Amino acid sequence: MKKRVVEAISKEIAEDFVLEKPKDLSLGHYATPVAFSLAKVLKKSPMIIAQELCEKFDDCEIFESVSAVKGFINFTLKDAFIDALVTDALEHESNFGRGEYEGKILLEYVSANPTGPLHIGHARGAVYGDALYRFAKHLGYDIESEYYVNDAGNQIALLGLSIYLAGREHILAEPVELPEEYYRGEYIVDLAREASQVFGSEIFKDEANIPKLSEWGKDQMLELIRSNLKEAHIEFDHYVSEKSLYDKWDETLQKLKDHDAVYEKDGKLWLASSKYGDEKDRVVVREDGRPTYLAGDIIYHGDKFARGYDHYINIWGADHHGYIARVKAAIRFLGYDDEKLEVLLAQMVSLLKGGEPYKMSKRAGNFILMSEVVDEIGSDALRFVFLSKKSDTHLEFDIDMFEQEDSSNPIFYIQYAHARINQIFEKAGKEPRDVFGVKLDSLDSDSKNLLYSALLLPEILDDAFHSRGLQKMPEYLKNLAALYHQFYNKHKIVGSEDEDKLLKVSAMVAMSLRVGLSLIGIEAKRKM
């Protein structure tokens, strides 16, 4: 819709112009302040310029009226133009909002260590990443999603040690001396019990078996993570193992040396990342010759860039903010364009129940499990609330909100609008397709403005993706649902003189709600 409007205005106004949407639709569906920018050049009042420009649109096929208001030019769309857009959208639902953008994108997100189940902090980045992926796909981008599995290093060894100690304590019933650092929680005890069934209790009698428990435990946790994600309707195109990439370390290190990126000091090998904006240089190889965590990330990003995507997006927790500069420096040292890497941060989540902090999971030990929250409020509510605010801002919500069956529960309110429209068609004894061909003319302002709002979804989608402000889609759906509930309460639909027209208006709203919900990973309900 906006593209057609821009094209129509461009035929009459040669200057660059900004197109806005007035808050009060009685003024028009679109507006431009172009007269103000022309005032200095033409040395005329913006009001006079606006009036003169309006006269150029007398015979425009898509505008019912073009008026000048205090220097702004306001455009109101014709019924016939809106009807054509609505009919095309209804007849080609799968294409509604689809774009024709080109570009190959690699999106990496979650990438939580496979040492425990996903917690609520991981969930925010997971939901955001999955929605970003869905938006990009719908807009035409060739995008792939990837989970980087941190299966090398101390954390995996620590998982094996933790399972081993739990086995000695709970399976062999032997006293154990617990180290300062190890993984706690009932899930570790459960892993020990399962390992006993798989390998026999003898595996806990010899410390030499810890590496075996590490590998086995990592695989079990990765399967659990996949399961946690699937419960929230999240799946990945690729899982990449950090451990498998270490075969490329020698090659990567040589490349860094060739670009004067590393130097030796105090028995360690340092990355000269301060050359490219990092606050200080970073260790990549320890005194004992073991590569650091950063080394693994350097190998991984070298591998990613070698695969030749046009753009790379990483979604990290907000605590990784300081990590961006060193990774970008490494990318430049490897000979790639670090501007192709975009890092988005997901802030922490505070979860309440009845106004009180949500209890930590006994199973996890010291955090709130993603799976437990999904069990309590459902994946739809989880996805909606995690997308309701910008990902880089703190999010706090009370899960009791989702027990309400009114406008205070946004996902209920939206789903109810969609289900209500299906009920209306059932009451009328018709299917939406029965009214696709109905001509929408002589529309009242309520119907026209509701259709205009329903047709905005492609613009909202485009803006939400490219601004990375995915919260714009839930907000749009909430507002559209509210408009429809108001419309329903004001207008008799079934049995009215304009029944078929109003049913077509309703069908368009339902389709926008359905498509918008699917883009944030939620299936619209037909009944409630």
CATH of the domain at 429: 1.10.730.10
Question: Tokens representing 261?
Answer: 């990126």
Q: Check whether residue 358 and residue 372 sit in a common domain.
A: yes
- 116 belongs to a structural domain: no
Q: What is the pLDDT of residue 41?
A: 80
Contacts of 150 (CB under 8 A, 6+ apart): 111, 113, 114, 156, 242, 296
Q: What is the DSSP letter of 321?
A: G
Q: What is the pLDDT of residue 26?
A: 84
What does the alpha-carbon distance between residue 77 and residue 136 come to, in Å, rounded to a whole number? 29
Q: What is the pLDDT of residue 314?
A: 98
Q: Check whether residue 512 and residue 410 sit in a common domain.
A: yes
The residue from 362, 382, 399 where one domain ends is 399
Q: Check whether residue 241 and residue 229 sit in a common domain.
A: no
Q: What is the pLDDT of residue 59?
A: 80
Q: What is the pLDDT of residue 365?
A: 67
Domain holding 34: CATH number? 3.30.1360.70
- The one-letter amino acid at 271: L
Question: Tokens representing 67?
Answer: 């008026």
The residue from 299, 318, 342 where one domain ends is 342
Q: Check whether residue 451 and residue 502 sit in a common domain.
A: yes
Q: Which domain holds residue 6?
A: 2-76
Question: Tokens representing 73?
Answer: 């030019």
Q: Check whether residue 178 and residue 210 sit in a common domain.
A: yes
Q: Check whether residue 422 and residue 502 sit in a common domain.
A: yes
- 130 belongs to a structural domain: no
Q: What is the pLDDT of residue 8?
A: 87
- 494 belongs to a structural domain: yes
Q: Check whether residue 186 and residue 333 sit in a common domain.
A: no
Q: Check whether residue 241 and residue 203 sit in a common domain.
A: no
- 354 belongs to a structural domain: yes
The residue from 300, 320, 342 where one domain ends is 342
Q: Check whether residue 196 and residue 229 sit in a common domain.
A: yes
Q: What is the DSSP letter of 116?
A: S
- 416 belongs to a structural domain: yes
- 108 belongs to a structural domain: no
Domain holding 166: CATH number? 3.40.50.620
Q: What is the pLDDT of residue 528?
A: 84
pTM, 2 dp:
0.92
- 124 belongs to a structural domain: no
Q: Total domain count for the chain?
A: 4
Q: What is the pLDDT of residue 362?
A: 63
- 298 belongs to a structural domain: yes
Q: Which of 372, 316, 489, 296 is nearest to 120 (CA)?
A: 372
Q: Do residues 214 and 156 make contact, with C-beta atoms less than 8 angstroms apart?
A: yes
Taking the chain (528 residues) in runs of 10, the rounded mean pLDDT of each run is: 87 84 87 88 87 86 89 91 95 95 97 91 95 98 97 91 96 89 90 96 95 96 96 96 92 94 94 93 92 93 96 94 94 96 94 85 76 92 94 90 87 96 96 95 91 96 97 97 96 94 97 98 94
Q: Do residues 102 and 96 make contact, with C-beta atoms less than 8 angstroms apart?
A: no
- H or E segment to which residue 74 belongs: strand 72-77
Question: Tokens representing 202?
Answer: 């003898």
Q: Which of 305, 298, 304 is nearest to 330 (CA)?
A: 298
Provide the β-strand partners of residue 283.
Answer: 270
